[in-house]
Amino acid sequence: MIREHHIAVRRTARYFTLGSASADVRELWIVCHGYGQLAAPFLSSFAPIAASSRLVVAPEALSRFYLDRTLSTPDPPPRVGATWMTREDRDSEIGDQVAYLDDLHDALREQVGDPAARDGGVRLCVLGFSQGVATASRWIAYGRARADALILWAGSFPADVDLPALATRMHGSSVTLVVGERDELASWANADTQLQRFADAGIPARLVTFNGGHRLDDATLVSLSG
């Protein structure tokens, strides 16, 4: 008889930073990339909001895969992307994500101060893009961190997260949904539905749009960081 088992193992996670961890840091941003992306090129999109007072950190999802195939020797090497999870063994994947981001957050907090200290401390801003929206949302819902701002960009808030329970953890924090007017993967209609879900749970949220598709937008980033 085939039986399923689990065992916890050690592994190495990779993350990239924009800015330096120092006493000058007043904002810590943890940004989660989308499906098939890698953390370094994703983080480069945040260059417009780089500042000495802001440390932007992009953790890379733990599962990498080839985006295309090398068919023969003359072909260029296949590109590599990463994914936060699939539907297979999803509960374990979610648990590993939350533990990973908790550990990273704890390590960063030791370098820049306690992001939970809202009075004169370091603010914690969490941004998820596309698939990273679900990852960021589950982390704030189930992890140890308390975000001052949660930005959900071009993705759907996961239906499995209990919004009323999240409301107690988000007290005083802002939630912003961002969607491009020409986004072929994240629609306005879906964003409106999500806004209603937040409102029903007593969580203030707003929708921000920009003229573009399924991507980050420089001007919108600057506006949200101001």
Domains and CATH numbers, the chain: 15-225 (3.40.50.1820)
pLDDT for 187 equals: 77
Taking only the tens place, the pLDDT of each residue in 44-87 is 999 999 999 999 999 999 999 899 876 666 777 888 999 999 99
pLDDT of residue 75: 73
* pLDDT tens for each residue of 162-221: 888 788 888 778 899 999 999 998 877 788 888 998 998 889 899 999 999 999 999 999
pLDDT (0 to 100) of residue 220: 98
**What letter does residue 207 receive in the DSSP assignment?**
E
Q: Exposure of 214 by Cβ count < 10 A (0-12 exposed, 13-18 middle, 19+ buried)?
A: middle
The single-letter code of the amino acid at 141 is: A
Say what the pLDDT of residue 113 is.
Answer: 67
Cα separation, 213 vs 216, whole angstroms: 8
* pLDDT at site 119: 44
Per-residue model confidence as pLDDT tens digits over 117-135: 544 589 999 999 999 999 9
In order, the DSSP letters of 148-214 are SEEEEESS---TTS-HHHHHHHSTT-EEEEEEETT-SSS-HHHHHHHHHHHHHTT--EEEEEESSSS
Q: Is the pTM of this model over 0.75?
A: yes
Distance in angstroms (rounded) separating the CA atoms of residues 93 and 19: 30
Give dist(CA 95, CA 186) in Å, integer. Answer: 26
Which tokens is 202 given? 């007593």
* Pairing status of strand 63-66 against strand 80-83: antiparallel
CA distance 166 to 163: 5
- Whole-angstrom distance, CA of residue 105 vs CA of residue 145: 7
- pLDDT score at 165: 79
